[in-house]
Chains A and B, each alone.
Chain A
Amino acid sequence: MAEQHTIHVDIVSAEGEIFSGPAAMVFAPASEGELGIAPRHAPLLTLLKAGEVRVQTPEGEQQSFYVGGGALEVQPNKVTVLADTALRARDIDEAAALAAKQRAEDALRDKPGHITQAEALAELARAAAMLKVLERLRKLRG
Chain B
Amino acid sequence: MPGTKEIRSKIASVKSTQKITKAMQMVATSKMRRAQERMRLARPYAQKMRNVIGHLTEANPDYRHPFLVTREPKAVGIIVISTDRGLAGGLNANIFKQTLFLMREWQAKGAQVSLCIIGSKGLAFFRRLGVPILANVSGLGDRPHVKDLIGTVKVMLDAYSSGELDRLFLVNAQFLNTMTQKPTVEQLLPVEAVDTEGLAEHWDYIYEPEAKLILDGLLIRYIESQVYRGAVENVASEMAARMVAMKAASDNAGKLIGELQLIYNKARQAAITKELSEIVGGAAAV
Contact = CB atoms under 8 A, between A and B. Distances in A.
User: Are A and B genuine complex partners?
Assistant: yes
Interface of A: 10, 12-17, 30-32, 42-47, 70-71, 73-74, 80, 82, 84-86, 88, 93-101, 103-104, 107-108, 111, 116, 118-119
B149 to A, nearest CB: 9
B214 interface: yes
A71 B146 contact: no
Contacts of B154: 93-94, 96-97, 100
Interface in B46-92: 46, 48-49, 52, 56, 86
B214 A97 contact: no
A100 B56 contact: no
Nearest to B143: A15
Contacts of A42: 206
B209 interface: yes
A131 B62 CA distance: 69
Interface stretch (B9-17, B134-142, B239-247): B134-142
Given A15-B145, A104-B136, A118 B151 contact: no
Given A47-B217, A97-B150, 8 more contacts: A12-B44, A13-B45, A14-B45, A14-B221, A32-B208, A43-B203, A82-B52, A100-B137
24 contacts: A14-B46, A15-B41, A16-B41, A30-B208, A31-B208, A42-B206, A43-B205, A46-B207, A71-B217, A82-B48, A82-B52, A82-B221, A86-B145, A86-B147, A96-B150, A97-B135, A97-B151, A97-B158, A98-B151, A100-B155, A101-B155, A103-B137, A104-B134, A107-B127
A82 B151 contact: no
B117 interface: yes
A112 to B, nearest CB: 11
A90 to B, nearest CB: 10
Given A12-B48, A15-B145, A17-B44, A31 B127 contact: no
B133 interface: yes
Q: How large is the interface on B (under 10, 10 to 19, 20 to 34, 35 or more residues)?
A: 35 or more
A92 to B, nearest CB: 8
B179 interface: no
A106 to B, nearest CB: 9
A25 to B, nearest CB: 18
A43 B206 contact: yes
A119 B137 CA distance: 20
Contact of B42 (A14, A95, A111): A14
A44 B59 CA distance: 13
Nearest to B217: A47
Contact of A86 (B48, B52, B150): B150
Q: Tell which of A74, A93, A104 has the most Cβ of chain B within 10 Å.
A: A104
Interface string B145-177: 111001110110010000000000000000000
B93 to A, nearest CB: 14
B228 interface: yes
Contacts of A47: 209, 213-214, 217
A103 B135 contact: yes
